[in-house]
Amino acid sequence: MAIRPILRLGNPVLRQIAEPVTEFGTPALRELVHDMLDTMRANDGAGLAAIQIGVLQRVVVFEVSANPRYPDAETVPLTVLVNPTIEFLSDERDSGWEGCLSVPGMRGLVPRYRSLRYRGFDELGAPIDRTVADFHARVVQHECDHLDGILYPQRIEDMTSFGFQDELVASGELPVAAAAAD
Ligand code: NI
């Protein structure tokens, strides 16, 4: 288990398409998941994709519980999600503030689908099938975007709502306790 360096926006690896996992329960996959959880928690992240530590596999982890970076965010259970697929349940979208461990210090207002069903597997190959909404749905969309080489700034529609977190808070645009996803 180890805390791994996180690649930052501009590193071309973050633009790659990650490959599906073909074998579950292997020592390599379990070590990857442990490293991702260690790295996410050490950085108070709400989620992390394998690609962010330079591993081009379709693996994401997320967890929101008493996170000091998002004190008002709703709880999302610890989830290890491999080979995820997403099905949007309506065209309804909400805008919410997001951050990303690969874009440190910044926040942007990102429209995301409000509700979705996601499916995939845990690291041992057990199926996951959940229907979620709101912040949970936002986190899933943010993390799964990473697997296709997409970072949240590409999803921002109004670039005036993108900037350094401290500036946005100082100007009053970003609520101090804004829920975000990264
Ligand atoms: Ni991110």
> Domain spans of the chain?
12-179
Q: Assess contact for 63 and 93: CB atoms under 8 A.
A: no
For residue 64, the model assigns a pLDDT of 87
For residue 175, the model assigns a pLDDT of 86
Q: Assess contact for 160 and 173: CB atoms under 8 A.
A: no
Q: Is position 98 annotated as part of the catalytic site? A: no
For residue 67, the model assigns a pLDDT of 60
Q: Assess contact for 79 and 63: CB atoms under 8 A.
A: yes
Q: Assess contact for 44 and 26: CB atoms under 8 A.
A: no
Catalytic residue among 23, 31, 143, 173: 143
Rounded to the nearest angstrom, the distance between the alpha carbon of 26 and the centre of ligand 1 is 25
Rounded to the nearest angstrom, the distance between the alpha carbon of 66 and the centre of ligand 1 is 19
For residue 74, the model assigns a pLDDT of 77
* Residue pLDDT tens, the chain, 182 long: 799 999 999 999 999 999 999 999 999 999 999 999 999 999 999 999 999 999 999 999 999 876 666 666 678 999 999 999 999 999 999 999 999 999 999 999 999 999 999 999 999 999 999 999 999 999 999 999 999 999 999 999 999 999 999 999 999 999 876 645 45
- The 8-class DSSP code of residue 17 comes to P
Beta-strand pair 47-49/76-88: unpaired
Which residues are within 8 A (CB) of 64 and not within 5 positions of it... i.e. 6 or more apart?
Answer: 46, 70, 73, 74, 75, 76, 135, 136, 139
For residue 176, the model assigns a pLDDT of 75
Per the structure block, which two tokens stand in for 112? Answer: 């995301």
For residue 181, the model assigns a pLDDT of 46
For residue 118, the model assigns a pLDDT of 98
Closest CA to 100 of 70, 79, 75: 70
**Up-side HSE of residue 54: CA atoms within 13 Å toward CB?**
7
SS3 for 36-79, per residue? HHHHHHHCCCCEEEHHHHCCCECEEEEEECCCCCCCCCCCEEEE
Residues in the chain, overall count = 182
Rounded to the nearest angstrom, the distance between the alpha carbon of 34 and the centre of ligand 1 is 18
For residue 179, the model assigns a pLDDT of 44
Q: Which CATH architecture has domain 12-179?
A: Alpha-Beta Complex (3.90)
